[in-house]
Amino acid sequence: MNIIRLECPSCQQTVELPEAEARRGLTCPSCFKFFTPALPPAPTPAQQQILENFQKPAAQKTRALAENIGTLAGLCLVADVLVLIASGIQSINGPATAGWIGGGALLGAAAWLFVVAQIIHIRANTEK
């Protein structure tokens, strides 16, 4: 709920109230005159969603980033397992050195991404 400050057009008294109430009009507490302030139009649902995303606490944004990196680590791990299985099958017929090296590289990438995701989670839990 957005609190806004308005000025009475009659007596210039400052009034604070929720925006939704101001849109309906109000009576000045000092001079008791009714007035309807000129406010910009209310945001559409799509605009409201964008505003809420910008107003999310930093910790929520950081947690979302950590979850995305964790998902990427999981995908790397799945790709690694597939490469290692393919390399194991291929090594039955002969050397498959490139597959083992690629699998090891993917495993290392998955491990580093997982560590980065955990560090970001820790940071999100320390932010307000």
In a domain, 28, yes or no: yes
User: Domain limits at 76?
Assistant: 56-126
CA-CA distance, 89 to 14, in Å (whole number)?
78
Q: Are strands 14-18 and 3-7 parallel, antiparallel or unpaired?
A: antiparallel
Q: Answer whether residue 1 shows pLDDT above 70.
A: no
CA-CA distance, 20 to 40, in Å (whole number)?
12
Predicted confidence band of residue 31 (pLDDT cuts 50, 70, 90): very high
118 and 61 belong to one structural domain: yes
120 and 92 belong to one structural domain: yes
In a domain, 44, yes or no: no
Total of domains in the chain: 2
84 and 117 belong to one structural domain: yes
Encode 54-78: b = buried (16+ Cβ within 10 Å), e = exposed: eeeeeeeebbebbeebbebbeebbe
74 and 122 belong to one structural domain: yes
Structural tokens at position 86? 């393919």
What integer is the mean pLDDT of 114-119?
A: 86
Q: Answer whether residue 25 shows pLDDT above 60.
A: yes
- pLDDT for 96 equals 64
Nearest to 117 by CA among 57, 58, 74: 74
* Lowest-confidence pick of 12-26, 30-44, 46-60, 101-115: 46-60
In a domain, 48, yes or no: no
In a domain, 29, yes or no: yes
